[in-house]
Structure 1
Amino acid sequence: MKQKVVLLPLDERPCNYVFPQRIFKETDIEVVTCDLSILGKKKTPAQIDKLQAFLLDETRDAFGLVVSIDMLLYGGIVPSRLHRETEDTLKKRLDILRQIKKINPKIKIFAFDLIMRCPQYSSSDEEPDYYEVCGREIFLSGYIQNRIELGVATEEEKNRLPGILEKIKPEYLEDFLHRRGLNLKLNLTSLDLIKENIIDFLIFPQDDASEFGYTAKDQTVIRKDITENHLDFQVYMYPDADGVTNVLLSRMLLQEKRIRPLIYVRYLSPASPLQIPCLEDRYLDVSVRYQILASGALVATSASEADIVLLVASGGDKMETGPDKQTNPGRTITVLRNLVDGLEYAEYCINTLKKPVMIADIAYLNGADLELVALLNKRGLLFELASYAGWNTAANSLGTCIPHGIVTMLYGKTKSYYDFMVLRYLEDAMYCSIVRSLVTNKYLAERGFHYFYVGETDGEISQIVKEEIIKHAQIYLSEMTDKFRINRCYMPWARMFEVGLDVEFLEKGN
């Protein structure tokens, strides 16, 4: 009999709402989540009262709850950056977790609570309107002030700061910092629920992290509380956002089964573990280990003792800033890594050691490494892997492929496995690395659209995207020819950044 696990996702996008349900569909947990219609859309918050009713009703007989605190308090990830709620209102909303634990004392509550981001660029697409005109300056103001406080700022940075602050209207900075301060207070209130044994495990993910700045300062405050109260085994903090739901569901599943898999990590270069990926704040290997631990597994010291192998397919010493770099890749791709060695080793693990192999494709920000995908296709490895992911940030890819690989290790290559692998190759490689920029550059302007607005969720652009994905899959993914169907293609937030694909593998899984 399946164990019921209730899910309150971070938002309504497929990566947070659909991916977890697909990954864990044919497992020993039944993921029960709320109806999509009450989750809001982008800057429009979810219907909090209906979320609360859903939680109270469904958790009464549940084994576990995986809950996004940002959804519970603010109505989603983007509303968490825009809200004008009071501290009292937000703390009352958090109290529902105490009610849930009181009604069902045995329920396991795994939660995640984002540290509010501070993007390094000017755009109001997911931020307040003023971030369009001074977002970069707001980031730099925090970045340089933090470096000054730590005594590491250069004279040039100190001299730049007054000019940067002059470009920010005081009311804009006041609004931004007030919301940051309030959200930080609620981060610490979430931490109090760990101390009360209401929340059993908590992750503070960092979206769009930086080594210095407002987010780094908030991390310091939270980390101090964790350390002083010796909560390090119950509370993790690492870069991610959209992959955390998968990770916590994996942890929930493994605890239910009382299994602790060992994962051996293999890199493509001796410098790879020491690179700091784009939009993150620490060495890659540190994040990889956190992702493995958070998923409920442990890091193995050798492939022979491992239950599963993770190939981290990164650049040699840094992450390239986007898939557009693939037309003229730098030394980090062409010289400083050995991709063939990694794939030869992956084949050896699969065929000789009989170990499942996962690939985290993180050489490029926001898209798959087409050279890697082409080699997987040529060697007939697309469906020999236990899992694959190569979308958005390194953390997002790790937070997708590790949980999916663990599920494959436990349950084999089910129909759900094949469907999700098809989705990853079509979305991460075909859309993110090829079709997104192609459609943006070729089709949008003449139709009066732009990258951040394509008119409709289901419209002309989504149909063009579908056609281009199918066309390019015939070129790059010949192993999948006539083996998949796209039932629906849509643009979840009516922009080009992400795509929604309802796909199906057409051959029965083993």
Structure 2
Amino acid sequence: MKFKSYIKQKWLLSIIAVTLMIVYYMNFIQLPPAVSVELQQNYKYKLILIPLDTRPPCQKMVVDAGKMAGVQIITPPSEIMDYYTKEGDTKKIQKWLMDNIDKSDGVIVSIDQLLHGGLLASRESGTKQDESQILLNFMRDLKTKAKDKPIYAFNVLPRITPPPTLESDSKKMIKISRLIDEISIFENEDDIKLLADLKEDIKQEDLDIYLDLFRRNTALNKELINLAKKGIITKLVIGQDDGEDFGIPNMEKKSLINYVHSLGISNDVVMITKGADEVALSLLANFVQTKTNYQPKVYVEYNDEKAMRTVMPFMAGSVGSTVEEKLVMANAKKVNSPQEAGLILYVFIGNDENMSIQRQSALKIKKYLEQGKKVALVDLSKHFSANEVLFPTLLKEAVPINELTSYAGWNTASNSIGTALANAVIYKAIRPTFNTTNDMLAVEYNRLNINYERFLEDYYYLKEVIDVMNITLKNHGYENVNDLDMEHNYIWMNKLLQSDMQKRANQLNNSEVFKMPFKVQTPEGVFDLTIRNLQVDVFFPWPRTFEVYLDVRLNLYRLNN
């Protein structure tokens, strides 16, 4: 019996050894011979960023894009910044900014952070007159110290949802907001009566606080516009967060647009647009454009005729209108054909009715890339579903995703369109300015890092893994996935997250498209490059599952040929 057991164990060990050899052969021996590329990150400029808040889209994504552009992004120390519901220390942030402006080539500053301590804090409190004046005086003093250095500033309109501190029914307050806007346009008598009835169901004090939030914000924004007109602010962007078709935020937006027009201010100085989280990244692109004198020629293509007219969730307008705003933000010239364009912005809006054309879109993008076109891909789903987005079809059809200039498919349409366009503009603007092999390859490496972070977060996490995380929490008795318990489930969930996301990274690492080589022109000639060993470090930056902090590690290789 012992002899039989020994033979059995020996056979089992032999099978394991052969299996490991096959895996090694498939993953290493079969790979073409290549030399690892060692790169040094160099910077041409240094830019201070006061982010909207400390979430990755508002801070990390700008830092990463800065690396691609050769712009070192400097942010305030974490101990004085916001963290989830804890607001940033506005006085210390202002002092830090004033103390460090001399060490930079300019600044991108969130007014919401300087004034309230972050986006969430701005939603919970109105702007007092004396606080606004202190902030405006600070901006004047900052300009005096900055001298000719550019100051890019942005502020976000209050969203339609009332502050959580109010006692009245939130849904009724939102309905009142919509009706006030609709009545101002249509003057419908039934709406007027319904508005009067709804007002009886809520506290007048709460309604006054809600309406005053917008009045004060409008007054502040007009003062900021005046600073921009005087050149104290180099460029001001006013964004709209979580918009709808109707509501008081839309009324404020229209009022500010009219005010800007009355002063004769151009979009280069004041831009009012949909979106919030991506604005700092767009302003970084503007900074790079001023240093390179780059104006993109962009051809916009949609996956079907309905995409441009689609109104996506949390948007106060169509996809087409959002694209047009982001093109203006990028100072882009829109052209009528791919042949005229230096950049193709491909906007895919998936829904449950157009999944049959996913392959057609994937093959169209593949053809553009084979022709050497630069493609920025926006990959969105009407219902935030993995089945409706294009990315899985890109993998299936062997589209060379390593050659995509940029990719985005997270959260709202404005977030994704703004992100994809800004990253593409930065890449296109800065690439011709580098003249060493190291810097040229560093641009490509950083582009790939940014894109793979977007692949892993925008598709794998936000369309697949987040549901796994939320279901796991609920199966263990935790109903509130937006307020993780730091003592009981936060660490546990981070471990599950890391494990699950690395599995997805391994899937991508072993895919045909990941291994596809791509060519890069350098002063030493054309390099055939490939990437290997995709690793991901990921955790929840705030105690909720809504977003992740994700770092990708890639190894860049030059093929021996």
TM-score after normalising by structure 1:
0.88
Q: Is residue 191 from structure 1 mapped to residue 225 from structure 2 by the alignment?
A: yes
Distance in 2 of aligned mates of 1:226 and 1:276: 26
Query: Compared with structure 1, are the counterparts of its residues 404 and 348 closer, same or farther at alpha carbon in structure 2 (3 Å cutoff)?
Result: same
Cα deviations across residues 54-108 of structure 1 (Å, max 9, x unaligned)? 2112222533211111111111111111125521122212322211221232111
Q: Which of 293, 298, 309 is matched with 1:263 structurally?
A: 298
Q: Which of 495, 500, 510 is matched with 1:468 structurally?
A: 500
Distance in 2 of aligned mates of 1:312 and 1:166: 45
Contact 1:206 1:240 in 2 (8 A): yes
Q: Is residue 130 from structure 1 mapped to residue 166 from structure 2 by the alignment?
A: yes
Cross-structure match for 1:448: 478
Query: Compared with structure 1, are the counterparts of its residues 298 and 29 closer, same or farther at alpha carbon in structure 2 (3 Å cutoff)?
Result: farther
Q: Which of 313, 331, 340 is matched with 2:359 structurally?
A: 340
Query: Compared with structure 1, are the counterparts of its residues 244 and 371 closer, same or farther at alpha carbon in structure 2 (3 Å cutoff)?
Result: closer
Cross-structure match for 1:230: 264
1:43 Cα offset (Å): 2.6
Q: Which of 428, 431, 436 is matched with 2:458 structurally?
A: 428
Query: Compared with structure 1, are the counterparts of its residues 462 and 447 closer, same or farther at alpha carbon in structure 2 (3 Å cutoff)?
Result: farther
Which secondary structure does the structure 2 equivalent of 1:172 belong to? Answer: helix
Cross-structure match for 1:325: none
Worse overlay, 404-413 or 192-201: 404-413
1:256 Cα offset (Å): 0.9
Q: Is residue 286 from structure 1 mapped to residue 286 from structure 2 by the alignment?
A: no
Which secondary structure does the structure 1 equivalent of 2:301 belong to? Answer: strand
Match of 1:68, as an amino acid?
S
Which secondary structure does the structure 2 equivalent of 1:277 belong to? Answer: coil
Match of 1:14, as an amino acid?
P
Match of 2:107, as an amino acid?
L
Query: Compared with structure 1, are the counterparts of its residues 504 and 167 closer, same or farther at alpha carbon in structure 2 (3 Å cutoff)?
Result: farther
Q: Is residue 31 from structure 1 mapped to residue 52 from structure 2 by the alignment?
A: no
Q: Is residue 49 from structure 1 mapped to residue 99 from structure 2 by the alignment?
A: no
1:221 Cα offset (Å): 1.7
Percent of aligned pairs with the same amino acid = 23
Distance in 2 of aligned mates of 1:52 and 1:198: 16
Distance in 2 of aligned mates of 1:165 and 1:49: 38
Cα deviations across residues 326-383 of structure 1 (Å, max 9, x unaligned)? xxxx22x336xx333332222222112x121110112336576665111111214332
Distance in 1 of aligned mates of 2:300 and 2:109: 29
Cα deviations across residues 13-33 of structure 1 (Å, max 9, x unaligned)? 111110000112132322222
Q: Which of 100, 105, 125 is matched with 2:147 structurally?
A: 105
Cross-structure match for 2:540: 491
Distance in 1 of aligned mates of 2:148 and 2:285: 19
1:473 Cα offset (Å): 4.6
TM-score after normalising by structure 2:
0.81
Contact 1:68 1:111 in 2 (8 A): yes
Match of 1:421, as an amino acid?
N
Distance in 2 of aligned mates of 1:145 and 1:26: 46
Distance in 2 of aligned mates of 1:231 and 1:209: 24
Q: Is residue 299 from structure 1 mapped to residue 311 from structure 2 by the alignment?
A: no
1:45 Cα offset (Å): 1.6
Matches within 5 A, 1:16-415: 16-83=58-125, 85-119=127-161, 127-130=163-166, 134-151=169-186, 153=188, 155=190, 157-233=191-267, 234-315=269-350, 330-331=352-353, 333-334=354-355, 338-352=357-371, 354-364=372-382, 371-378=389-396, 379-409=398-428, 410-411=430-431, 414-415=444-445
Contact 1:65 1:108 in 2 (8 A): yes
- Structure with greater contact order relative to length (CA < 8 Å, sep ≥ 6): 2
Match of 1:402, as an amino acid?
L
Contact 2:240 2:273 in 1 (8 A): yes
Which secondary structure does the structure 1 equivalent of 2:336 belong to? Answer: coil
Which secondary structure does the structure 2 equivalent of 1:423 belong to? Answer: helix
What is the count of residue pairs matched by the alignment?
484
Cα deviations across residues 456-483 of structure 1 (Å, max 9, x unaligned)? 3951112112222233455577425973
Contact 1:362 1:369 in 2 (8 A): no
Which secondary structure does the structure 2 equivalent of 1:259 belong to? Answer: coil
Which secondary structure does the structure 1 equivalent of 2:254 belong to? Answer: helix
Cα deviations across residues 285-328 of structure 1 (Å, max 9, x unaligned)? 2211221221343322221121111110113xxxx5xxxxxxxx
Contact 2:153 2:235 in 1 (8 A): yes
Q: Which runs of 5+ in 2 are unaligned?
A: 1-42, 432-439, 516-531
Contact 1:274 1:284 in 2 (8 A): yes
Distance in 2 of aligned mates of 1:97 and 1:78: 22
Query: Compared with structure 1, are the counterparts of its residues 346 and 141 closer, same or farther at alpha carbon in structure 2 (3 Å cutoff)?
Result: same
Which secondary structure does the structure 2 equivalent of 1:392 belong to? Answer: coil
Contact 1:368 1:390 in 2 (8 A): no
Give the number of the structure whose alpha-carbon radius of gyration is greater: 2
Which secondary structure does the structure 2 equivalent of 1:383 belong to? Answer: helix
1:168 Cα offset (Å): 2.4
Distance in 1 of aligned mates of 2:383 and 2:92: 36
Contact 1:275 1:283 in 2 (8 A): yes
Match of 1:25, as an amino acid?
K
Query: Compared with structure 1, are the counterparts of its residues 143 and 264 closer, same or farther at alpha carbon in structure 2 (3 Å cutoff)?
Result: same
1:223 Cα offset (Å): 1.3
Query: Compared with structure 1, are the counterparts of its residues 445 and 97 closer, same or farther at alpha carbon in structure 2 (3 Å cutoff)?
Result: same
Q: Which runs of 5+ in 1 are unaligned?
A: 321-329
Distance in 2 of aligned mates of 1:82 and 1:444: 28
1:184 Cα offset (Å): 1.9
Worse overlay, 404-413 or 4-13: 404-413
Match of 2:293, as an amino acid?
R
CA-atom RMSD, angstroms?
A: 2.4
1:11 Cα offset (Å): 0.4
